[in-house]
A and B are shown apart, each in its own frame.
Chain A
Amino acid sequence: DAGVIQSPRHEVTEMGQEVTLRCKLISGHNSLFWYRQTMMRGLELLIYFNNNVPIDDSGMPEDRFSAKMPNASFSTLKIQPSEPRDSAVYFCASNNDPNSPLHFGNGTRLTVT
């Protein structure tokens, strides 16, 4: 089991540029979660999917953020245009049951200058 795989590990970009973060779920898992972590706010849930369908996107900060799950094993989180306040570590996590623990990817550290 390769675990949840995220790419890239690090992303440095200039304000106004588009950023795309990628995530591959653990095989057999049917729920995917995107979290953002900062020192000030901790781990915040942005959006989660169940069986490829977005269930709750109330944590998405604003329209600049969008997420897709084109198939059962892959998801993208896009920020367009990016801003310095988007700088954070973005984690993807998955599980196969609402009461089971989440398995996290290694995260993408995003820096927007």
Chain B
Amino acid sequence: QKEVEQNSGPLSVPEGAIASLNCTYSDRVSQSFFWYRQYSGKSPELIMSIYSNGDKEDGRFTAQLNKASQYVSLLIRDSQPSDSATYLCAVNFGNEKLTFGTGTRLTIIP
């Protein structure tokens, strides 16, 4: 069974601080990794995709991938109240479909 694990939270972070979200997955042959943000009552929207080891930065967001340790993380710098949402980690295990973690609920405290 291919699995994606996330801490469900809630994770509370003061405004302006760095929020760190982590995700582990069960299969070393995984090829592509995604972070989605989901506001309450809305659909998931893509924030970042990452395909190779290392860091990928996009504005205030940085995705980090370590295939040897089977984890992927998302850092949010200068956290804003609008970043409060559930963050979903998704992994393609090489079989054309995305498997999602259950999500981490993030709250940014003004």
Q: Smallest Cβ distance from B49 to chain A, in angstroms?
A: 5
Q: Identify which of A41, A55, A98, A104 contacts B45 (C-beta below 8 A).
A: A104
Residues of the A chain whose Cβ atoms lie less than 8 Å from the Cβ of B44: 43, 91, 104
Known: A43-B88, A50-B96, A55-B96. A99 touches B51 (CB 8 A): yes
Complex Cα–Cα for A55 and B45 (A):
24
In the bound complex, CA of A102 to CA of B98 (Å): 8
B contact residues around A106 at 8 Å (CB): 42-43
Among the stretches B19-27, B76-84, B100-108, the one at the interface with A is B100-108
Q: Are B43 and A99 in contact (CB under 8 A)?
A: no
Q: How many B residues, CB 8 Å from partner? A: 22
Q: Mark B29-42, 1 if CB is under 8 A from A, else 0.
A: 00110100000001
User: What are 14 of the A-B contact pairs (CB < 8 Å)?
Assistant: A31-B96, A35-B100, A41-B102, A42-B100, A42-B101, A43-B44, A43-B88, A91-B43, A91-B44, A98-B96, A99-B31, A101-B34, A102-B34, A102-B98
**Residues of A that sit less than 8 Å from B by CB:** 31, 33, 35, 41-43, 45, 48, 50, 55-56, 91, 98-99, 101-107
CB within 8 Å of A: which residues of B? 31-32, 34, 42-46, 49, 51, 88, 90, 92, 95-103
